[in-house]
Amino acid sequence: MSWSKTFEELDAARHDRESFDCGASELNVFIQTQAAKHMQAGISRTMVLPSKERLSNQKYLICSFYSVAPSSICRETLPAQLSKKLPHYPIPVFLLAQLAVHKAFHGSGLGKVTLVKALEFLWGVNAHMRAYAIVVDCLTDSAQMFYQKFGFEILCEHNGRTRLFISMKTVEQLFI
Ligand SMILES: CC(C)(COP(=O)(O)OP(=O)(O)OC[C@H]1O[C@@H](n2cnc3c(N)ncnc32)[C@H](O)[C@@H]1OP(=O)(O)O)[C@@H](O)C(=O)NCCC(=O)NCCS
């Protein structure tokens, strides 16, 4: 099974959510039962990378996915040299709420591809509605190491997880 070239919006009729397994039950449950509902409710958007070939049920395997949503942070959570230039009201950011790769593809570079596509997507949104940064709340130390490898920095503790961020100024350098 190989992955196709383009990410597309999650479509329950087209993408086989049941067979997705990234090894982390919270993320499996999210894509299987919550992602579509969250899109219907208008609170996040989930983009999936389907397989090139269909499964026997005629649906496409979900090789990887990411989910994004608008969010905000308080300036006090930022390092002092960044926060002093910002207003005292909530600072708009994008939340990279979920990102996972099917375990059949772990270690094949798809995590990197998926993260770059998520950043590119949010960079495109930023052209229309500005945000200061992208934040991600890490499920595990291993996830934290993955994001830090790509330039995310520690912001604060948030709901028992380590929250990382990357500024849109840094993201800009990837896409201009
Ligand atoms: C974390 C995850 C997305 C990585 O996907 P992957 O396809 O295995 O990663 P890649 O093959 O693209 O690896 C890209 C780079 O990140 C590194 N990397 C991958 N997983 C890593 C991890 N857990 N910790 C540290 N570095 C990691 C790789 O060594 C590679 O480095 P290189 O470019 O120098 O060779 C995947 O393992 C996954 O879905 N895990 C379960 C869900 C999860 O933890 N998601 C995180 C969001 S909360």
* 8 Å CB contact between 125 and 105: no
* pLDDT per residue as tens digits for the range 96-142: 999 999 999 999 999 999 999 999 999 999 999 999 999 999 989 99
Kindly state the tokens that stand for 83: 């926060």
Query: Does the pLDDT of residue 152 top 90, yes or no?
Result: yes
**Is the C-beta atom of 155 inside 6 A of ligand 1?**
no
Question: What is the DSSP secondary structure assignment for residue 59, as one 8-state letter?
Answer: P
Sequence spans of domains, the chain = 8-175
**Is the C-beta atom of 142 inside 6 A of ligand 1?**
yes
Give the rounded distance of the alpha carbon of 91 from its chain centre.
19
CA separation for the pair 165, 174 (Å, rounded): 15
C-alpha angle 36-38-39 in degrees, rounded to nearest 5: 65
* Domain 8-175 sits in CATH 3.40.50.1470: no
Instruction: Quickly count helices (H) and strands (E) in the chain.
Output: 6, 8
Place of tokens 């087209």: 14
Mean pLDDT of 65-84: 93
What pLDDT score was predicted for residue 82? 87
* pLDDT per residue as tens digits for the range 29-74: 999 999 999 999 999 999 999 999 999 999 999 999 999 999 999 9
**Is the C-beta atom of 108 inside 6 A of ligand 1?**
yes
Residue 73 bridge partners (DSSP): 91
Q: Which pLDDT band, with edges at 50, 70 and 90, does 81 fall under?
A: confident
What's the predicted TM-score (pTM) here?
Answer: 0.96
